[in-house]
Chains A and B, each alone.
Chain A
């Protein structure tokens, strides 16, 4: 029976090619606009470490007091040196790492090539296992490298390509900021977006990769100052990077792995205890105002998804709705024009269900055609999204199988939905009326 309806539908669509084309294009445009903006939205609102994000927590401590809070009472989104080092020393989580952004010049010692400037992070040894950072060669450094301020470095595959022609460089030496470092690990491709371990400096997205990771303690010891965001509620009393470490300026990010609800509660209590101890010691003269959010909640609190992305998606969905209303109108016109045909079929014994099947098949075919057109437009749209959106965000949008499937499904489903009311009207055509007037 379906093949018969298919034939009927195709014949009917061919009879008025203009109207058919119009419906197909409307659905194609509506679906592709929605899918293109959705691909961007999906990219920026994704979970960068889905298997673990609910176990990774970002602690925030209120070291500035009521004057420094944002309008909604939030403490700063990063830590100062004193608190970050205290949290590291207490070591209350399963794994944890303080980190800050660095941008040192690097070169291969003895090489005649000019040094290049790279971006990287000063981190603790637990950073790598905590974030499941993938390695191509070697591994992160051992805990004693943190305590010994060892001159070791983990480099990205990209930097390894540039400096060591992509060969296994573990054990080789790299000159960073004028000092020699031993390479202990080379990363496989690792580019989590949103950049959840460095939201404060990147705002969430970054086209530049992190090319070097060195021990936090080492970076502090050699005075490698932070290249990321610094926020101060009052000016540091002393100049230079040392003054920065003694100030309440925030420039250090912190992440802790807590793998059970009990561990989270225990850590919360610990943070409160810490803030209270600071109050008792006279460093804070306000009650604890800490935050402890897991990665998704932290990304949300930092408004990582740009509001532009949400507005675009909303406007595109609006376009899809208008296209559907349009399709409802055109299908209605198309179906009712065939009232006499329906009348004849009904008079010859076709039940209402048959009329439903026939016309919904027709709507479905329009939807399918619209979906195919939509696929092409979505491809073009995602491809050219870089022309209108900032590069760091546009680069994340991509076409994959699930997006293509979603495009087709949405097109067919919305066309069938749009066909429901016109089909309902068509099924209600009174055969007697139609036969009489002809």
Chain B
């Protein structure tokens, strides 16, 4: 296949060539950035929470009557006892929050009491000695809280606990040599917290962008919060009994004490629902980008079909002449495919520059990550194939032009 005649033929219809190349360039730029966004969102929403998601659900319990801290604590303890007695419930723990809640409580973590700059940041989970089992998270070093270590904390209070369990992510951040167990740190307080246990993974309460730097860093404190307003109960059903447990738990709580409010809409959430809500935006963005990619590729393919068909129609006589002079059908087919290939390569080269340009701009404006080369390569391959397939139909029609056309005058 000779490229020179193709190039000189292109010079005869510059405008069309430039338009197709431009369209391919823009499509590449948009598609690989969109694919990259899709991949990032999918990666984000498939991050594991570390908990027993299939069986965990959360109750948001609000007290309808006012009481003293002692009374509140007694009510919480009675609730816990009632929940743990239910046949469908494996375990339960009171807490201030739960993973993927959307917002939550985080504290600055310091390695020395004198520090004014934080070493890092971690989410705070309160609970009793049942917290690990209620979440279904795995202890990989040290031990769980003992009953006698569980203390109380008033509402609106923040106090460091002498013993804490931390996630592996936080342990590694504070003590990268793996010696965290038994060591201490300071949580916005002058009194040290000693690490007595390490759990392998527990996701943050919020998965917003600003939390990325502190992902999976959490502190678990053996404290029950006597919040006069309300608190969360994390409940873990026995395997396969989630539906039963979610039906029985509100009944058991109301039987225990009617002066409470469990919101009919958000008062009880399975973890599947929690996960769905937490990643609403990410899923939405991925779907939206997907739709735009598909429409974009379809339009570009249709555009190539349209213009190539026009060129074939315009050159029927020339094709006829070539056929009469001995060119095979295959030669004609190859001609158009090669022509498209050359235009595509030109367009893709320009597209690469635009793609990275857009990406740099988005990094500056929207804290987007650096576009990885593999997405650009995927985009290039997809568009090359798309161009070839789109050209195929008109090119086949061209190859069927009979040599007799050369002799016709119109």
Contact = CB atoms under 8 A, between A and B. Distances in A.
Do A and B belong to a common assembly? Answer: yes
B157 A240 contact: yes
B407 to A, nearest CB: 16
B283 A388 contact: yes
A399 interface: no
Contacts of A243: 156-157
Contacts of B103: 229
Label chain B's interface by main secondary structure.
Answer: helix
A87 interface: no
B410 A438 contact: yes
B249 to A, nearest CB: 17
Contact of B66 (A178, A227, A312, A332): A178
Interface string B366-391: 11000000000000000000000000
Given A117-B263, A315-B289, A318-B30, A225 B229 contact: yes
B300 interface: yes
Contact of B299 (A306, A322, A333): A322
Contacts of B20: 329
A311 B302 contact: no
A315 B34 contact: yes
A323 B66 CA distance: 63
B22 A308 contact: no
B292 A33 contact: yes
Interface in A241-298: 241, 243-244
Contacts of B295: 29, 33, 319
A231 B261 CA distance: 27
B15 A323 contact: no
Interface stretch (B135-143, B303-311, B334-342): B303-311
A310 B410 CA distance: 53
Interface in A154-193: 177-178
A130 interface: no
A312 B281 CA distance: 12
A326 interface: yes
A29 B299 contact: yes
A332 B289 CA distance: 30
A17 to B, nearest CB: 13
Contacts of B283: 388
Interface string B270-311: 000000000011011101110010011001101100110111
Given A117-B261, A235-B159, A236-B158, A325 B284 contact: no
A235 B105 CA distance: 13
A239 B156 contact: yes
A19 interface: yes
A321 B303 CA distance: 13
A390 interface: yes
A67 B228 contact: no
Contacts of A25: 299, 302
Nearest to B23: A325
A330 interface: yes
Interface in A64-97: 67
A58 to B, nearest CB: 21
A341 to B, nearest CB: 14
Given A33-B292, A307-B366, A318-B26, A177 B19 contact: no
B319 interface: no
Interface in A413-438: 421, 425, 438
B314 A337 contact: yes
Contacts of A389: 280-281, 284, 288
Interface residues of B, number: 62
B16 A333 contact: yes
B23 A241 contact: no
A105 interface: yes
Interface in B191-209: none
A203 to B, nearest CB: 9
A405 interface: no
Interface string A369-402: 0000000000000000001111100000000000
Contacts of A326: 23, 299-300, 302-303
Nearest to B117: A67
B155 interface: yes
B23 A235 contact: no
B261 A115 contact: yes
A236 B156 CA distance: 9
B364 to A, nearest CB: 12
Interface centre among B103, B157, B284, B288 (most CB of A within 10 A): B288
Contacts of A230: 156
A333 B306 contact: yes
B159 A322 contact: no
A45 to B, nearest CB: 15
A322 B296 contact: yes
B281 A308 contact: yes
A115 B259 CA distance: 8
Nearest to B285: A308
A239 B288 contact: no
B6 interface: no
Given A26-B303, A332-B16, A234 B188 contact: yes
B218 interface: no
Contact of B310 (A241, A333, A387): A333
B365 to A, nearest CB: 8
Task: Enumerate the 9 nearest inter-chain pairs by beta-carbon distance, A residue then B residue, closest first.
Answer: A333-B310, A239-B157, A388-B284, A329-B19, A239-B154, A326-B303, A307-B366, A318-B30, A115-B64
Given A319-B296, A333-B307, 7 more contacts: A26-B299, A33-B295, A105-B62, A240-B156, A243-B156, A318-B30, A319-B292
28 contacts: A26-B299, A29-B295, A30-B299, A33-B295, A67-B116, A114-B64, A115-B64, A225-B228, A240-B157, A308-B281, A308-B284, A310-B366, A312-B285, A312-B288, A315-B33, A315-B292, A316-B292, A318-B29, A323-B299, A325-B22, A325-B23, A326-B300, A326-B302, A330-B306, A333-B309, A336-B310, A388-B283, A389-B280
